[in-house]
Amino acid sequence: MVCLIGASGSGKSTLLRCINLLEPIDAGRIWIEGDEVTVDGVDVNAVRRRIGIVFQAFNLFPHMTVRRNVTLAQEKALGRSRGDADARAVELLERFGLGDKRDDYPDRLSGGQQQRVAIVRALAMDPDIMLLDEVTSALDPVLVAEVLDVIRELAAAGMTMVIATHEMGFARDVANRVCFLYDGRILEEGPPQQMFSEPREASTRRFLDRIIAAGRM
């Protein structure tokens, strides 16, 4: 699991959106599992099917039930049968404690529940990689923990993830690698123990000091 940290505007979200080709890139190349995805004529939809992305604002489809939110893309993009898609949806929803919410509409759920549904929706596509873009930033602190637990569980199960986050404590505990972004570039990266205790760059140190001063670590 790679955690991207940095101030707002440093490019964390943009980087994630570039990986799943939501943002067009100006220069450089991206490889996913050995395949270059930034060549001309790449099948964008196929690439996106291999990557799950979850956004800060959940972005659930409000006109569909939770269950339909999770099964829609499975059926239409992956071509699974209704029965298979439904089974996978129910399985994942149960696993993350949302089983009894499956026939509710998103507006009946709390923020934390909606975000977990968003994660399930992405997981149901059986992606190779999960990208999580500040998924807890819009939640009030009480609900943050339940979402972090889900992410922890995914990481423990071996899912490759790139996470943009402000939750430094979480990053320190769970990440394999931490990247500090500054002004659109990766200024520094390394294992969490090194990044948080002995950052090399001055900007990194300044950023971490501010975080500590704000009581967030």
Where along the sequence are the contacts to other proteins (CB under 8 A)? 20, 22, 45-46, 48-49, 51-53, 55, 57, 59-63, 72-73, 76-78, 106-107, 121-122, 125
Amino acid identity of residue 185, one-letter, is R
Nearest-approach distance from CB 193 to other proteins, in angstroms: 33
Decide whether 22 or 211 has the Cβ nearer to other proteins.
Answer: 22
Nearest-approach distance from CB 56 to other proteins, in angstroms: 10
Nearest-approach distance from CB 77 to other proteins, in angstroms: 4
**Beta-carbon contacts of residue 131 (< 8 Å; ≥ 6 apart):** 16, 19, 20, 51, 52, 53, 54, 161, 162, 163
Decide whether 116 or 121 has the Cβ nearer to other proteins.
Answer: 121
Decide whether 61 or 190 has the Cβ nearer to other proteins.
Answer: 61
**Beta-carbon contacts of residue 92 (< 8 Å; ≥ 6 apart):** 70, 120, 123, 124
Decide whether 122 or 151 has the Cβ nearer to other proteins.
Answer: 122
Nearest-approach distance from CB 143 to other proteins, in angstroms: 16
